[in-house]
Structure 1
Amino acid sequence: MDAFNKGVTLGVYIVTVKAGDRINGMTAAWISRVSRNPPMVMVSIGHKSIPFKVVLHAYRNYMI
Structure 2
Amino acid sequence: ELRAANEKQKQKRTRSRRHIPTKEGLSVQEASALIMQQQEAIEAPPPGPGIPGESTIQPLS
State the TM-score, normalized to the length of structure 1: 0.18
In our comparison, the structure showing a higher alpha carbon Rg is 2
State the TM-score, normalized to the length of structure 2: 0.18
Query: Which structure shows the higher helix fraction?
Result: 2
Query: Which structure shows the higher strand fraction?
Result: 1
